[in-house]
Structure 1
Amino acid sequence: MTTVTTDQKANPAKSFIAGGFGGMCSVLTGYPLDTIKVRLQTMPLPAAGQPPRYKGIIDCAVKTFSKEGVRGFYRGISAPLVGVTPIYAVDFAVYAAGKRLFQSDDQTKLTYSQIFMAGMGAGICSALVTVPTDRIKVLLQTQPVTGGPLMYNGMVDTAFKLYKQGGLRSLFKGTCACVLRDSPTGVYFVVYEGLQDLARRRTGHITPTSTILAGGSAGIVFWSLAVPFDVLKSRLQSAPEGTYKHGIRSVFRKLMATEGPKALYRGVLPILIRAFPSTAAVFIGVELANDLLN
């Protein structure tokens, strides 16, 4: 059975700190493309004979910049920046705790199936932390910026209005969709650990280049699997209350009936373009933080 060599026994506390720092690096790197992705995913169907709101990634970028400037690409970034520390911190801490369950000492070699199980558990736990900030982010990214006053004025105002509207249930709208989207995290860690293990066998150690390549590749593989669930999540979280009575199931049925399977991959281009640099930034931040903590 294929194995992964670990340098030392996993440390959840250290991974908690390193994961939070890596997550902040990721948000700052990939947020503009995330905004474009969400806007493409949630734009309404055009009326008969009318062009779509955005023709594609470039058209969305041009229109966003012309109407809102550079600031438009970072609309709602406060939510993920505030939430990113606990989200990625939980992700990497749970991942480390999962690996630790399989390790008896610093020389323990983990199989890729063990890496997968630890990563899947991390993805599910971090998804539960992600939901409120993801909900706020999507609403801020998709609200109209012309034709009157804004419905939501920043992260705190959005959180307050959602809570007033429907309590915690409103803030956690899309929980099931988030868990489904993040469930391929096991594959994400397997790809990263596998490529880093290959680098160790070739050179005896990992390098910044191997971390960038392994992290970026892990991100592309993960998002290739997660895109359909991300589309359903964005549709559900941006919809007015009562639009989808049965949650993600209602979103899926309506999307299939009105737009077909192709709509499940709407916004895939900015997602995959963003996946490599933003995920590479996560692991560069994590490895740098680990070095400093060591």
Structure 2
Amino acid sequence: MAEVAKDLVAGTVGGAAQLIVGHPFDTIKVKLQSQPAPLPGQLPKYSGAMDAVRQTITAEGPRGLFKGMGAPLATVAAFNALLFSARGQMESLLRSQPGAPLSPNQQIVCGAGAGVAVSILACPTELVKCRLQAQSALAESASSAGVVKYGGPMDVAKLVLRSEGGLRGLFKGLVPTLAREVPGNAVVFGVYEALKQSFAGGRDTSGLGRGSLIVAGGLAGASFWLTVYPTDVVKSVIQVDDYHNPRYSGSIDAFKKILASEGVRGLYKGFGPAMARSVPANAACFLVYEVTKSSLG
């Protein structure tokens, strides 16, 4: 139980650091992902990441870059506590003896198991976040007459519960969320452990300095998006899709329609901001997690 408590506390603090560092990048990613494909002869609302930043600040001020942070911030404690404690429990099942370090392949299994656990919490949180982040772009699209405007995270949750099928509505996009979190976290923890052991020259990584942890965490975070980014695009468009007049019948339909109308590039909308976010945000998360857990003894 002591190890579980350490994972809970360290995961919470690490997750808060990750969110604060990475949320503005995530906002731009979602705006680019969710903007509708332009009509023939029209230009897209955002020409790229920097244009999205400029338009967001002009229209909403710097606070617009942090829109939607309330929902993940409110649940970051539970999300990261669950992620790291689930991983810790998986580690204990795979260890040959208490305290024995695991191989990168074993950490891949641990990450996959943790991904299943966090998907249940991530799905409704991501839905609320994406609705808030994308609403300004959707409101100005040609096909968004009468689009709902949300006042905040609780307003999103209330409206979804009331008019989009109750609790089931909050879990819209669960399949692509699982398809993102399971392989994504498997890769993250596998790469993180492989890099740490490479830097340490063996399985004992307890003596690594903060610089090595920052590099390992940042590159591990980048590997997440390199592995699952198209799945995240599908998740985002499913979660912001109109409930009463949907453009997509499901994840496969969304994938096919994006590919047909925008090509492979459509599956990588917002990839630049996602990668720009992943390195510093995950470096901060893993560093703060390791430092916090070490300080707890």
Q: CA deviation at 1:245?
A: 5.9
Give the % identical residues: 36
Tell me the residue number matched to 1:6: none
Runs of at least 4 residues of structure 1 off by over 4 A? 145-150
| CA distance in 2: counterparts of 1:210 and 1:113, whole angstroms | 20
Unpaired stretches in structure 2, ≥5 consecutive residues: 141-145
Indicate the SS of the match to 1:173. Answer: coil
Structure-2 separation of matches of 1:150 and 1:26 = 30
1:272 CA displacement:
0.5
Q: What residue number does 1:288 align with?
A: 291
On the 8 A contact 1:10/1:99 being kept in 2, the answer is no
Cα displacement (A) at 1:252: 1.2
2:231 is aligned to 229
Where does 1:19-34 land on structure 2 (aligned, <5 Å)?
Answer: 19-34=11-26
Q: 1:245 to 1:35 in 2, by over 3 A?
A: closer
Aligned to 2:81: 89
Instruction: Work out whether 1:15 is the aligned partner of 2:7.
Output: yes
Please say if 1:250 is aligned against 2:250. Answer: no
3-state SS in 2 of match to 1:11: helix
State the match for 1:3 in structure 2: none
Matched, 1:266 2:265: no
Measured after TM superposition, the shift of residue 10 of structure 1 is 9.4
Q: Hey, what does 2:189 align to over in structure 1? A: 189
In 2, Cα distance between equivalents of 1:68 and 1:107: 50
Q: Does structure 2 retain, via aligned residues, the 8 Å contact 1:131–1:171?
A: yes
* Counterpart-to-counterpart distance in 2, 1:225 and 1:149: 33
Partner of 2:200: 200
SS of the residue 2:30 aligns to: helix
Q: Cα distance, 1:204 vs. partner? A: 7.1
Aligned match of 1:220: 222
1:209 corresponds to: 211
User: Alpha carbons of 1:149 and 1:265: their partners in 2 closer, same or farther (altered >3 Å)?
Assistant: closer
Q: How does 1:46-57 map to 2 (within 5 A)?
A: 46-57=38-49
Q: TM-score, normalising length from structure 2?
A: 0.91
Aligned equivalents of 1:113, 1:212: Cα separation in 2: 21
- Asked whether the 8 Å contact 2:104–2:191 carries over to 1, the reply is no
Instruction: Tell me which moved more, 45-54 or 30-39.
Output: 45-54
Root mean square deviation, CA, Å: 2.1
Bigger mean CA offset, 101-110 vs 281-290: 101-110
- Number of aligned residues: 286
